[in-house]
Amino acid sequence: MREFNVTGICIPGKHYMVDISNKVSQIAAMVEKGQYFTINRARQYGKTTTLWLLDTELVKRGYTVAHISFEGIGDTPFENEKKFCQSLLKQIARELKRRNIKGFSLWEKCKAKTFDELDIFLDTVCKDKKIVLMIDETDKTSNNLVFLRFIGMLRDKYLKRNNKGNYTLQSVILCGVYDIKNLKAKMILAGTYQLQDGEKRINSPWNIAVDFEVDMSFSVPEIASMLKEYEKDHKTGMDIEAVSKEIRAYTSGYPYLVSRICQRIDEKLDKDWTINGVQEAVKLILTEQSVLFDDIIKNMESNKELFDLLHDIIISGQKFLYNHFNPAIRIGVMFGILAESNRGLIVHNTIFETFICEYFISLNDTARKITGSVFEVVENGKFKMELCIKKFMQHYYEIYHKKDSNFLERECRLLFLTYLRPLINGAGFYHIESETRNGNRTDLIVDFNDEQFIIELKIWKGEQKHEKAYEQLIEYLNSKNKSNGYLLTFDFRKRRATKPSAKWVRKSKKKFLDCLCV
């Protein structure tokens, strides 16, 4: 019986898999054109499985594929040219022999000790052959200098491949998290790369590579393709389209998260293939330790600019345009934490945004001063959101009314989330949506048992902006088919109201509690 897999390669016949044949065909078309490129995507983004399926497709099309990996080969191969050449030749020979490819012995017998000698050898073995070299886990190189010299040699052969007597690989595909194109520039700045005589400072050893623009995230139809296979085996009666849309809404198609939600539903939630089941799976994921979440925290803690940028986006609610010149934005996108949208920069998905928000809450000592009692806001299994917000406003007023408004303006969202979290713990959870269907943001959605509450958190910016907040909340209520919502506005004006206030407002057939927190 097949199962969902979140570790290693997904194998047809053994695992339930998203149908990514269209993506594989797009990549194969790049190989057909003789293009060299890098697949650089975040951790657990399906790179290795994609390479494996691409490998299979290219073999069907008559290519000789040398598919190797730098993972687990140790540091020795990267100490110098000789050791690198011998290791590379040995790996390729072993791979071709495994596939029963004629001519593997040529690679096995080759004694090239320098990249010049390797260059000459490639002229021989690539003549009249379409050989594709795939190197997975290129991030595992322990000596980037040796690796850069190698891909520089490949670049030179690529540029000469139309000259008489020059032959080279049909295509070279490098796979990893980091962008190889920028590796040399980083090493020069760090002082770990010494320019050779006549070598141009601006040249990248991989500047012949084309951009890799295949979208590797999973769309709703692609997620549905996996659930259809599952449904054939289990006949649960699930609404495949609705469940696929809900999974996509939480994950933005991040491959690991898509598979993890399905795995949790199948193995831990008694096969509850409903909207509620997806939400329960998300709750489980947000409370578990994972390599992916550990990587997010590690990357944030090792890069202050990225840490501050995420704080500004998630906690302060600031908006940023995508700017590839900004190092923090580049790093955040490269690691899959941030993404570009048609309205600017966003956190990649709802699960990441909620997880990072929880992380910020855990770091904030001041926010812990705001606490509430769960017995006051839960009655007969129902969460009384109106009472919760009013209690929060009173606590906030008593503790912070006379405090530094500059600090509070940055942290007010964090204060509310810190107050809310213990009240819904167990029976409910909150999440932040990175972007709504029409491109707007909504700040907070709270699910408690079978109820859902939609809350907008705003800072007072004048009557016109306040009316705009009404419109935004109404639009989102419409998209969720909800009648009621909540608007919590923090007022930091010098002449602000003397006490907090809350009133129910009716607009466009919607009803929402308009709260002013002072």
**Closest Cα partner for 46 from 35, 54, 58, 34?**
54
Q: For residues 306 and 328, what is the distance between their CA atoms, to the nearest angstrom?
A: 5
Report pLDDT digits (tens) over 307-356: 999 999 988 878 899 988 898 998 999 999 999 987 689 999 999 999 99
Lowest mean pLDDT among 188-192, 258-262, 280-284: 188-192
pLDDT at residue 415 greater than cutoff 50: yes
187, 148 Cβ separation under 8 angstroms? yes
Report pLDDT digits (tens) over 202-220: 456 788 999 999 999 999 9
244 or 395, higher pLDDT: 244
Lowest mean pLDDT among 49-53, 129-133, 139-143: 139-143
Pull the structure tokens for residue 173.
């595909």
Q: For residues 211 and 221, what is the distance between their CA atoms, to the nearest angstrom?
A: 25
Residue count (the chain): 518
131, 63 Cβ separation under 8 angstroms? yes
What percent of the chain stands above pLDDT 70? 89
To which residue do tokens 């503790």 refer? 399
Lowest mean pLDDT among 256-260, 318-322, 364-368: 364-368
**What is the average pLDDT score of the chain?**
88
Report pLDDT digits (tens) over 383-403: 999 999 999 999 888 887 776
Q: For residues 99 and 94, what is the distance between their CA atoms, to the nearest angstrom?
A: 9
**Largest Cα–Cα separation, the chain:** 86
User: Using CA of residue 322, residue 324, residue 330, residue 336, what is the dihedral sign?
Assistant: positive
pTM, full prediction:
0.88
Report pLDDT digits (tens) over 76-112: 999 999 999 999 999 999 999 999 998 899 999 999 9
Q: For residues 501 and 144, what is the distance between their CA atoms, to the nearest angstrom?
A: 61
Spell out the alpha helix ranges (H) of 139-290.
144-159, 183-190, 220-234, 240-251, 255-268, 275-287
**Residues 6+ positions from 353 with CB-CB distance below 8 Å:** 314, 347, 431, 432, 433, 434
Report pLDDT digits (tens) over 452-472: 999 999 989 899 999 999 998
pLDDT at residue 224 greater than cutoff 90: yes
C-alpha pair distances (Å), 310 with each of 23, 174, 348, 440: 31, 29, 11, 18
126 or 479, higher pLDDT: 126
**Closest Cα partner for 285 from 240, 241, 254?**
254
Radius of gyration of the chain from its Cα atoms, rounded to whole angstroms: 27
Q: State the pLDDT at residue 192.
A: 56
Report pLDDT digits (tens) over 467-507: 999 998 998 899 888 999 999 999 888 777 788 999 999 99
Q: For residues 287 and 290, what is the distance between their CA atoms, to the nearest angstrom?
A: 10
Q: State the pLDDT at residue 182.
A: 59
478 or 16, higher pLDDT: 16
pLDDT at residue 289 greater than cutoff 80: yes
